[in-house]
Amino acid sequence: MTVSASIAKRSAIFRRARHPRRTLLAAAISAALFAPLGSATIAHADTGDAAIEQALNSARQGSFDTSSAVSNHVLGAYIQYHQLRNQLPDIPATSISRFINANSDSPLSEWLRNFAQRAYGKAGNDAALLAISNGVPSATENQCYYYRALLTRDPQRAAAGGRELWEVGHSQPNACDPLFDTLRSRGEITASNDWARLMHAWQSGNSSLVNYVRKLIDAPNWQSAMATFDRVYANPAAVTTVPARLGPDSHAAGRLMTVAFHSLSRSDPRAALSAWRQLSSSQALNNEQRLAIQHDIAFNSMLKEVSDNRSWVDQTLPQLNDNALYELRIRTALAERDWRGVYRMVPKMPAEVRRSPRWQYWLGRAAEQLGERATANNAYRAAAEERDFWGFAAADRIHASYAMNDKSHPVSPARINQVAALPAVQRVAALYRIGEPGLAYSEWVYTLQRADHAKREAMAAYAIKQHWYALAVQGSITARALDSLAWRFPPAYLSQFQRWGNAHGTDPYMLMGIARRESAFNPSAQSPAGARGLMQLMPGTAQHISRVEGIPYSGVNSLKDPDTNIRFGASYITSMLERYNGNRIAAAAAYNAGPGRVDRWLANSNQPFDLFVESIPFRETRNYVLAVLDYRAVFESIAKGSSNGVSMLSPAERNGTYGPNLLAR
């Protein structure tokens, strides 16, 4: 197979396997508690670890070891958790409460509370459900059980909670039906609540829910409102015929108009603006509804590039004061090379937004294009003060070194030792020893969320000391120590990145940037789409690379191994670099969005790197490219001990044209 054919084939597999994909770090441990242990485990600290590992495996299968060796182990509560869960709902709430109180420093407490709420709710044991609850549950199904349990104890709270659950634009769990039925029979859910839900359903585009709720509103005093709804739902342009007073309380018109404009502006922004000019003074609308309507018209006018609406949009943006709308307007101006528009619009943004490196960079670019050299240099200098893709790009414009703004600082051994002695941290260490990184991560995050700033810093420092790189990153984020580069950008798996980067002739710092963005160096991370490991590889991609490159592949679980994952990831990104003539911006975009999409973007492009990046239509991919290239430069600077001589982009990447010329022939 030729190189080009190999690349084309593996790119097709990668494209099919990865999309749609969202790498969410929280999803990395989604099934950890009940997943069987992998075959590879870290060496046991003592025989107690071997016993607890076996006991945990057995507990997941419903067999429980209650020996003292297991019960007295630092992870003994995990066995008790499974035992109590297995006995629900036939055990008293006092047993559940005792466990929750005894393990309040562990996520086990909230996991058991959540499971017990569901179990007691399904069994109709309202007293037990309320006894173990510490407020409104987080899960929707459990909320329905909770409010149902309050129907006789606190009917006002039950009614308020039930109405909130009812007035949504999506279907709710079947467990909510008894609550809704009771409230409706009591007159606590009325046609007014049904109208509110009907509007939510329409705005959400949930036609089946619209049809369901529509049938519920049949009271005589709602007939006129429903006839108006039917007419406008069928033709949103008929919004101009909605009377100012609608419904029994005369207040239904405002919400109907708001949702009708939401629908109309998406399909025909010109018609929406024309209708708005007729209705903008309507007494049916409150200020919140007016702003919502104007927002929808402005957003869709820009999204659909309706030039006829441009003047109105520019006049309206200041009163809406919405960052996303300003961003879209400036990106539109950039796409049109309207440098005067960019120069005029950036200063109108809220101060905290326009001061960001991104917008200072574009202010500088616009000023430069307009011959305002002094303004351009001032804007570039302001942007270059920050550690950021656009800050680095601005620094390149004025030939300055990159600002790393590293505020890493040592944590005293005494504080680190205090953290190491925490029972929660000891559980983290034990879970790593028995091959349970997902549970270790859960324990760590749960502890971070409840710690003060000083303890979070000490936890990050301890994680670095233990080579728990994903936990160090999470610690730095939770502690908001965003300039502590030693924690945010640790030398995770450095030797493996260097080994496989060099083997493929690929920049190892680029590989590290991808892994940092994809998984925050969590080797057990798994996305909802099934991407796995440090570099978030799809199993299908790994299988194909194995066949093409002859790299041994022993199944999905092998992608949790850092060395294996990096090797496959290095092979794939190398093929993307080959595809795009070594261009790392295009390769990073393809790693996230798929090469087919990037091919199309390039085929319709002919612009410098900065305008190409801003023209990427997917926000996720745009931000992904910015992060990977930014992180790459940070890792190189850390490795060299200075940003002097570090360049985020090569001369070809910085000065070349982004278009069909980048596609390898």
Q: How many CA atoms lie within 13 A of 24 on its CB side?
A: 9
Cα–Cα distance, 477 to 453 (Å, whole number)? 11
Residues near 592 by beta carbon (within 8 Å), at least 6 away in sequence: 21, 620, 621, 624, 625
Cα–Cα distance, 640 to 646 (Å, whole number)? 9
Q: What is the DSSP string of 216-240?
A: H---GGGHHHHHHHHHHHH-GGGGG
Cα–Cα distance, 525 to 537 (Å, whole number)? 10
Residue type, 76: G
Interhelix angle 323-335/310-320, nearest 10 degrees: 150
Cα–Cα distance, 260 to 253 (Å, whole number)? 10
Cα–Cα distance, 110 to 513 (Å, whole number)? 34
- Contact assessment for residue 572 and residue 10, using Cβ atoms and an 8 Å cutoff: yes
Give which of 321, 312, 233, 241 is closest to 270, Cα–Cα.
Answer: 312
Q: How many CA atoms lie within 13 A of 256 on its CB side?
A: 33
How far from 57 is each of 39, 82, 199, 441, 482, CA to CA, in Å? 12, 11, 49, 19, 39
Give which of 662, 651, 655, 665 is closest to 580, Cα–Cα.
Answer: 662
Cβ-in-10-Å burial (0-12, 13-18, 19+) of 315 comes to exposed
Q: Residues 410-418: contacts with CB within 8 Å, 24+ apart?
A: 410/461, 411/457, 411/458, 411/461, 415/454, 415/457, 415/458, 415/461, 416/458, 416/461, 416/462, 416/465, 418/458
Catalytic residues: 518
Angle at 616 between CA 332 and CA 597, to 5 degrees: 135
Q: What is the dihedral of CA 354, 359, 363, 368, to 10 degrees?
A: 160
For the beta carbon of residue 20, count every other beta carbon within 10 angstroms.
7
Angle at 611 between CA 605 and CA 612, to 5 degrees: 45
Cα–Cα distance, 355 to 346 (Å, whole number)? 9
- Count each helix (H run) and each strand (E run) in the chain, helices first: 38, 0
Pair of tokens at residue 464: 């670095």
Cα–Cα distance, 84 to 442 (Å, whole number)? 20
Residues near 281 by beta carbon (within 8 Å), at least 6 away in sequence: none
Pair of tokens at residue 559: 């992608």
Helix (H, G, I), strand (E, B) or coil at 555: coil
Pair of tokens at residue 510: 């680029």
The residue with tokens 């940092």 is 516
- Contact assessment for residue 261 and residue 239, using Cβ atoms and an 8 Å cutoff: yes
Cα–Cα distance, 413 to 118 (Å, whole number)? 44
Peptide bond into 89 cis (omega under 30): yes
Helix (H, G, I), strand (E, B) or coil at 644: coil
For the beta carbon of residue 3, count every other beta carbon within 10 angstroms.
11
